[in-house]
Structure 1
Amino acid sequence: MDLERNMTDKQSIELTHVQSTHGGEVREVEAGGGLKKNLESRHITMIALGGALGTGLLIGTGSALVEAGPAGVLIDYSIVGCVVFLVMSALGEMVSYMPLPHGFGGFATRFVDPALGFATGYVYFFKYLLAAPNQLSAFALIFQFWVGDRVSPAVFITVGLVLILIINSVNVRVFGEFEFWLSSLKIIILCGVILLMLILALGGGPTHDRTGFRYWHDPGAFVEYKLHGSVGKFVGVWSALVQAVYAFTGTELVGMTVGEAKHPRLAMPRAVKMTFFRIVFFYVLSVFFLGMVVPSNSTELVFATKSSASAAASPFVVAIKLAKIHGLDHVINGCLIVFVFSASTSDLYIATRTLHAIAVDNKAPQIFKRTSNQGVPFYALGFCALFCSLGYLSVGDGSKVVFGYLTNVVTVFGELALDQRLFSSTDTFIP
């Protein structure tokens, strides 16, 4: 194993010095771009397993349930999950073959064309440039479950912003350890929540009310969204597809860590293989059981048209409230803070590393290429941190509205980046 690892490291180093074409000229790729390879295999594995579990699944699912109904949500998450798995499999092959530090734009440049690499890099960058403030908006939205409108969302956004800046300002190994333990905690929490949803659906709650598929009949498996009849149900499913795409945002996070991974050729295949099991268990099963215990017309949902002032941000918290399990809703709402905080830290990390990768690929100002002695691209980090102030829009328009705005924008950029990565991975593989 040691011999294999040494040979793998040597091959990885050699492959970061491959030649690529840009503007008709042949140039040599700069290895690493100043980043430090301090991420262990266990960091990569856990980031791949729990890195994408965040606001999209635990909060955005409530909006999808209101718009599409339980059957519509299940269909949307299943379709998007299949597409994401195919893209991740292709991405895993490219990353294992050639672990470049240039990000997804670098792969598009290497295997297709510099123009596609430019577009892919910037679309992906814009996506996560807005994803971090979106997470901060969700951070404030969760706290409103306890404080309502008595405390300004700016307080919670400021606290979250300062903490994620500190974590991203130190050695990447600190970020890796932080994500390792938080991802482990997220997986334990979500496994417990999924098991709880199943127990409640089977009548194991305090009320002993066995809901089963009751809510699939009343108010219905599908919801008429903005239009009536079958057309309205189709529009609901199509509209909720946006939330499904957003929920899977971050699945490709593991691909951005290749520039700082110690053994990318060994760690990446293992991480990608876990994608299928994560999609089936954490995404498909969770929305399936959720549709059995929470009606799509519940006024407790924060995204419902007639939601109460104290509505919960997460539909999973609503399920606990409807089951009349006193006190547990506060515990789960507190656990959501772990998910959102982890997601906001990861989003700022991806935005920073993507901007650095674009600069390494000579498609952005070279100042963003500079790194500290610890391997942190501090100029890129500072630039991305400025856009986190968009989260303060929650102070004026309300966290619910701002979360919806930013979710739509991030999803659009995410879909564009997904299409471009899929095109890059299915193009002719010419070393």
Structure 2
Amino acid sequence: MARFFSRKRGDDEAEKTATTPPQEVRQEEARVDEDAGAEDDLHRGMKPRQLNMMAIAGAIGTGLVLGTGTSLKLGPGSLLIGYAIMGFVVYVVMVALGEMGAFLPHKKSFSGYASRFVDPAMGFATGWNYFFKYVIVLPNNLTATGILLQKWRPDINVSVWIVVFGVCIIALNMIHVSFFGEAEFWMSLIKALVIVMLILLCFIIALGGGPNHVRTGFWFWKDPGAFAQYTTSVGGVTTVIGGETGRFLGVWACLVQATFAYLGTELVGVAFGETPNPRKNVPRAVNQTLLRIVFFYIAGVLVLGMAVPYNSKELLDATSKGTSGLASPFVVAAQVAGVSHLDDAVNGLLLIFTISAANSDVYLASRTVWALGKDGQSPHIMQRTNRNGVPVPAVALSSLFIALGFMNATKSSATVFGYFVSLVTVFGALNWIAVLVSYLAMMRGMKAQGIPREVMPYRNILLPWGAYIALAVTALVIIFSGYSAFIPHFQVDKFLTAYIGIPVYIINVLWWKFVKKTKRVKASEMDLVTGRREWD
């Protein structure tokens, strides 16, 4: 095992939990970490405008444009509450990551902070958990791309499109990070414009600007109502849970779906390591996250609830369409108002969403396994980069999982999408917990070492108290995310996809602690120096 998980000079100091590195060692490591031209290192080639646009719209994917249709069936009130609560959680996660990234910038993603402030075993588990999350969702995004294209070319198998776009994405990730950043900049810009247009469309329709000239306003919140009873179908048998219990389950289902829709917001956090002047650009990018949450997500679900009743026949039909443009609740809003032929336009624009998401999946997975290699937690070859600072072996490993898309091509897209939502949600939520736990551990370390929070270049008013609330909410979402596996009877497939990420994470923590005999980082010995450019 030692041959595969080797420790080289330059591995993260978090592995050394017994003592804080000497001052001269910390200074040397800091210089190496900041040196963009160092061997086996990433380059800071991500431009501020690229980072800012990625923060605004980089991770917006099918969760918002398609997934909200399923949640809308539970009522506009349930939908809004679910997205508002999880919007608060994800914003707290981002500002916590922003405070750490601006105060102690490094290139080792979330796993590096977990190793440094909590326990190297947690860093190991967090890194591999993050890697698995994105290599699992990668083939799903490419499969969705193929299904979208089948609307116009049903004669071409989905597998062909998986190969075509898979090759394009690999090529984008194999060249300089500036090319990836530029591609994501333009795709993110297009996504932002698309979401703005769809939100405005729904708002205009709700005000009576559609062909039917019906001004609905918030009428659908009264009739049929803001909250729907919980309904689920298993094996052709429909189960309805009414009353307060049914409405509560509806809100909870929206919480879980909103978690999936928000996943990937932390994309900008991984890009911190390839951004020049992180102390200036990190806070700016994090602040853009609030704009994204409030306008794109909160405003988006609000206008959907104004334009589409949850019992609409068009909505019920749309949610059975899998991942085509017809499945989008925004298309449903247009249909209800009498606007025709919008599905083709939305179907085409959704291609930008799925291709961008798949492109980001490879980027995030490769940078994560590269960071694990720098900490000696993945095979040593994974930390190698070419002269452009691209971690070629890491990109190659991440790209191999594209082949899993061939397994999905012959299955029901709606079924596969549901499985991936459950599986990826728990992986992503566990990473949010790791960020919050790492942040709170850093706060304890600063207090123990007498370092005031005022020395941090970026501070947010919601912290640190907000981190405790976000941690509790995220933990509850993980614990109860698989409740539907028990309604109306126990379903093994739903249970496994909802909870398998938890034992995988715990086993990784215990295994690394057993193999490497790691210890929890003591607050008084925590390294709060490496990576800082100056003491205030």
If the length of structure 2 is used for normalisation, what is the TM-score?
0.72
Deviation at 1:289? 0.3
1:162 lines up with 2:164 in the alignment? no
Moved more, 87-96 or 295-304: 295-304
Q: Report Cα offsets for 1:292-337 as digits up to 9, x if no partner.
A: 2123233444776766998713211222222222333322221121
**Distance (Å, rounded) in 2 between the aligned partners of 1:165 and 1:309:** 23
Match of 1:58 in 2: 65
Query: CA 1:429 to 1:275, structure 2 compared with 1: closer, same or farther past 3 Å?
Result: farther
Matching residue within 245, 258, 261 for 1:231: 245
Q: Secondary structure of 1:356's partner?
A: helix
Match of 2:111 in 1: 105
8 Å CA contact 1:99–1:259 kept in 2: the answer is yes
Match of 2:52 in 1: 45
- Which residue identity does 2:106 align to in structure 1? L
Query: CA 1:359 to 1:333, structure 2 compared with 1: closer, same or farther past 3 Å?
Result: same
**Distance (Å, rounded) in 1 between the aligned partners of 2:19 and 2:399:** 35
Query: CA 1:285 to 1:36, structure 2 compared with 1: closer, same or farther past 3 Å?
Result: same
**Distance (Å, rounded) in 1 between the aligned partners of 2:120 and 2:61:** 33
1:405 lines up with 2:423 in the alignment? no
Match of 2:203 in 1: 198
Query: CA 1:146 to 1:18, structure 2 compared with 1: closer, same or farther past 3 Å?
Result: closer
Q: Secondary structure of 2:75's partner?
A: helix
Match of 1:334 in 2: 348
Query: CA 1:134 to 1:235, structure 2 compared with 1: closer, same or farther past 3 Å?
Result: same
**Distance (Å, rounded) in 1 between the aligned partners of 2:435 and 2:306:** 35
- Unpaired segments ≥5 residues, structure 2: 1-9, 232-240, 447-527, 529-536
Deviation at 1:94? 0.4
Match of 1:6 in 2: none
Deviation at 1:416? 0.9
Moved more, 293-302 or 99-108: 293-302
8 Å CA contact 1:320–1:329 kept in 2: the answer is no
Match of 1:12 in 2: none
Match of 2:404 in 1: 390
Q: Secondary structure of 1:412's partner?
A: helix
Matching residue within 243, 259, 269 for 1:245: 259
8 Å CA contact 1:131–1:410 kept in 2: the answer is yes
8 Å CA contact 1:134–1:407 kept in 2: the answer is no
8 Å CA contact 1:62–1:303 kept in 2: the answer is no
Q: Secondary structure of 2:81's partner?
A: helix
1:128 lines up with 2:134 in the alignment? yes
Deviation at 1:175? 0.4
Q: Report Cα offsets for 1:355-374 as digits up to 9, x if no partner.
A: 11111111111111112222
Query: CA 1:310 to 1:264, structure 2 compared with 1: closer, same or farther past 3 Å?
Result: closer
8 Å CA contact 2:170–2:399 kept in 1: the answer is yes
**Distance (Å, rounded) in 1 between the aligned partners of 2:150 and 2:257:** 22
Deviation at 1:70? 1.2
Query: CA 1:429 to 1:91, structure 2 compared with 1: closer, same or farther past 3 Å?
Result: farther
**Distance (Å, rounded) in 1 between the aligned partners of 2:90 and 2:321:** 32
- Unpaired segments ≥5 residues, structure 1: 1-15
8 Å CA contact 2:321–2:414 kept in 1: the answer is no
Q: Secondary structure of 2:409's partner?
A: helix
8 Å CA contact 1:94–1:425 kept in 2: the answer is yes
Matching residue within 309, 315, 324 for 2:329: 315
**Distance (Å, rounded) in 1 between the aligned partners of 2:323 and 2:263:** 29
**Distance (Å, rounded) in 2 between the aligned partners of 1:62 and 1:174:** 34
Q: Secondary structure of 2:214's partner?
A: coil
**Distance (Å, rounded) in 2 between the aligned partners of 1:307 and 1:335:** 17
Match of 1:171 in 2: 176
Match of 1:291 in 2: 305
Matching residue within 246, 259, 280 for 1:266: 280
Match of 2:503 in 1: none
Q: Secondary structure of 1:396's partner?
A: coil
**Distance (Å, rounded) in 2 between the aligned partners of 1:255 and 1:308:** 31
Q: Secondary structure of 2:326's partner?
A: coil
Query: CA 1:208 to 1:77, structure 2 compared with 1: closer, same or farther past 3 Å?
Result: same
8 Å CA contact 1:299–1:306 kept in 2: the answer is no
**Distance (Å, rounded) in 1 between the aligned partners of 2:382 and 2:86:** 34
Q: Secondary structure of 1:312's partner?
A: helix
8 Å CA contact 2:158–2:409 kept in 1: the answer is yes
Query: CA 1:319 to 1:146, structure 2 compared with 1: closer, same or farther past 3 Å?
Result: farther
When the two structures are aligned, how many residues end up with a matched partner? Answer: 414
8 Å CA contact 2:86–2:259 kept in 1: the answer is yes
Query: CA 1:352 to 1:301, structure 2 compared with 1: closer, same or farther past 3 Å?
Result: farther
**Distance (Å, rounded) in 1 between the aligned partners of 2:183 and 2:325:** 31
Deviation at 1:83? 0.8
Deviation at 1:212? 2.1
Deviation at 1:242? 1.6
**Distance (Å, rounded) in 1 between the aligned partners of 2:11 and 2:285:** 24
Deviation at 1:131? 2.0
Match of 2:439 in 1: 425
Deviation at 1:393? 3.0
- Which residue identity does 2:140 align to in structure 1? N
Deviation at 1:18? 8.0
Query: CA 1:287 to 1:145, structure 2 compared with 1: closer, same or farther past 3 Å?
Result: farther
Moved more, 259-268 or 345-354: 259-268
Q: Report Cα offsets for 1:390-419 as digits up to 9, x if no partner.
A: 222332212221111112111010111111
1:346 lines up with 2:360 in the alignment? yes
Query: CA 1:46 to 1:125, structure 2 compared with 1: closer, same or farther past 3 Å?
Result: same
Which structure has the larger Rg? 2
If the length of structure 1 is used for normalisation, what is the TM-score?
0.89
